[in-house]
Amino acid sequence: MKLKKNPHDILQEYWGFSSFIHPQESIINSILDKKDALILLPTGGGKSVCYQVPALINDGICIVVSPLIALIKDQVNTLKDKGIKAIGLTSSLKFDDVDALLDNCIYGNYKFLYLSPERLQQDLVQQRIRNMNVNLIAIDEAHCISQWGNDFRPAYRNCVILKEFFPDVPMVALTASATRVVASDIVENLQLNEPAIIKKTFKRNNLSYQVFETEDKNYELEKLLKENTGSAIVYVRSRKATIETSGFLNKKGISADFFHGGISNNDKDKKLAAWLNNQTRVMVATNAFGMGIDKADVQTIVHLNFPESLESYYQEAGRAGRNGDKAYAVILKSGHDEGRLKNQFVKTLPDVNFIKLLYNKLNNYFQISYGEGVQETFPLNFNHFCQTYDLPAMLTYNGLRVLDRYSVIALNETYYKKMNIQFTTTNNQLFYYMDQHPSVENIVQSILRTYGSVFDMPTTINTLLISKKSKTFEQKVLDVLQQLQKDEIIDYEATDTDTLITFLTPREDDKTINVIAKPIEQQNELKIKRVEAVINYTNNDTVCKSIQLLRYFDEEEKEPCGICSVCAKNENDISGDVLSIIKEEIIKSLKKQCMTSRELVENITFKEPYILDALKDLLDDEILSINSKNQYCIN
């Protein structure tokens, strides 16, 4: 690959653009001058281009540390599609595969090596990296390094080892959400040397932040998506809600699909491709969806539940309007949301005692002896585990994430079927069967060549591996297994699992957890403060929403955006006399019967926001109350 030495030539050749977005060019020039840099760009600000362009200009390879496997895969695939040689070290790779890929990085003229901070801790990886011709080090999602940041990942602290290996190589840290304290922590922990700190305003002039109160979120969602007909993401809190909400939208004639961590990788790829190509208009998803996905024409982001923090909300909302067109980020709230947020993110914060209990039960569940268990991987049926030890589901899930964050375990939330098979016939009977059923021969032979023990004992097989070896689809392998069982050729057992657990440290019970006890308590305090910030944001209907978000990220802005729900409300404020008339109309209607807010909007000839304001006043004055059917009634 012949590389050109001009940033604009590189941009044109691989990205097809003739000019950079501000401040990309100044960032690139700083890196080319071999200066360390801290880059704070809003979501959709083109962070990856800032390190990819200079890495392509200089000889050697760029090492990129990234927190999510999905993010790594997406970046590597995007670079490969452009004809750029890139490698990603994902958690699914075996030792021999990692060994070979690292050799390619040293001898194969590769330009990018993407890896997780946990992978960076491995001796093999560190040894091979030392032998690479590294031209740049990029730490993506750098806020993960800070104990004050959102999604703190202690393993990120080890990224500084790259600075020790290559003291003369520039290091660039990139993030889309960092307060002043977090930014300072990043610089200190990475030991950046007099870094250029380049920050673009987090203000999004084309993005309208909106918060609306409603008792019927599905009704408001339908109305919103019919008014704004472009591509959309709807964020919900649970896997079940993704399925239910997408089903509701499809029934209303709005093309939608669901996406969450529990579906197979094959299904994820299909669903994502359909959405990216606008064959599916709306993706209903849990909050992990969208990170690293490059789709510029998303018009609307809707949160049906409160986000867990303003950092995550800013990133999720920022996935709308990347093409510069008018876009909307909407939170639909009801009277129960504040309590639900606290229940989910405050009351389910696992303290140190619970983490010790959970770790002990996890080791007992998999029968791991004291001092053992390192690098052993087990499939976990989460519900069965919780039922076995009578553990609260949400508290347990959060506890597993804490153990994952502090590298006690590695948590891989991927749904798959565990297949155990054993051939129950003789060799001669099997070969006769294959003569009579030639369509199964290729797959059966692949199983026999891969698993020598299948005649002697129940053997766990990898159906995806068999499909690759037999050059067919995984579903075909599953169909053949069912046929072999039906014809009594094999005993076949399939069990569902939704999580893989890899133990990263030897079992030492309380000693293992005592090391991380203080940071756990500190993180719990921070999460409580973040929840309070979300509640304040959703309840504050006097200060421009954009200004509220900017202030949270230490950016002073005095000029209201003019397009958020607060600004629109202020523009259309009604007089006290008109508000009194609306209240009278509401009371007159409710004297006949109790009604929902939607029924009142349909029956009263005033705009919906005015009616909702009047209802709020009447509730505050205790003239009205809400019954169990979410209807307003006169007290």
Strands 282-285 and 231-235: parallel
Identity at 28, one-letter amino acid code = I
| Per-residue pLDDT tens over the stretch 480-489 | 998 898 888 9
pLDDT tens digits for range 237-293: 888 899 999 999 999 999 999 998 778 778 888 999 999 999 999 999 988 787 767
In 3D space, the residue among 118, 164, 119, 134 whose CA is nearest the CA of residue 63 turns out to be 134
Query: In which element (H, E) is residue 332 found?
Result: strand 327-333
CA separation (Å) from 537 to 96, 339, 370, 426? 50, 15, 48, 69
pLDDT at 463: 79
127-154, pLDDT tens digit by residue?
999 999 999 999 999 998 987 877 788 8
- Comparing CA positions, the residue from 378, 375, 377, 380 lying closest to residue 391 is 380
Among 38-47, 410-419, 545-554, 613-622, whose mean pLDDT is lowest?
410-419
Whether the full predicted model's pTM is greater than 0.75, yes or no, is no
Over the stretch 402-434, which tens digit does the pLDDT of each residue have?
998 888 998 876 555 667 888 988 888 898 899
Closest CA to 10 of 111, 143, 158, 145: 111
72 CB-near residues (< 8 Å, 6+ apart)? 66, 88, 89, 90, 114, 115, 116
Answer whether CATH 3.40.50.300 is correct for domain 7-199.
yes
CATH topology of domain 572-634: Arc Repressor Mutant, subunit A (1.10.10)
Report angle CA 254, 43, 66 to the nearest 5 degrees. 110
For residue 104, what are the contacts with CB-CB under 8 A and spacing of at least 6? 87, 110
Classify 379 as helix, strand or coil.
strand
CATH of domain 343-415+500-527: 1.10.10.10
Nearest-5° angle of CA 294, CA 295, CA 297?
150
Question: Is the preceding peptide bond at 23 cis, omega within 30 degrees of 0?
Answer: yes
Neighbouring CB atoms inside 10 A of 213's CB total 20
CA neighbor of 602 nearest in space, from 211, 216, 332, 228: 216
Q: What is the pLDDT of residue 2?
A: 45
- Topology of domain 207-334+556-569 in CATH is Rossmann fold (3.40.50)
Contact 138, 148 (CB under 8 A): no
Specify the pLDDT at position 1: 41
Mean pLDDT of 225-235: 95
DSSP 438: G
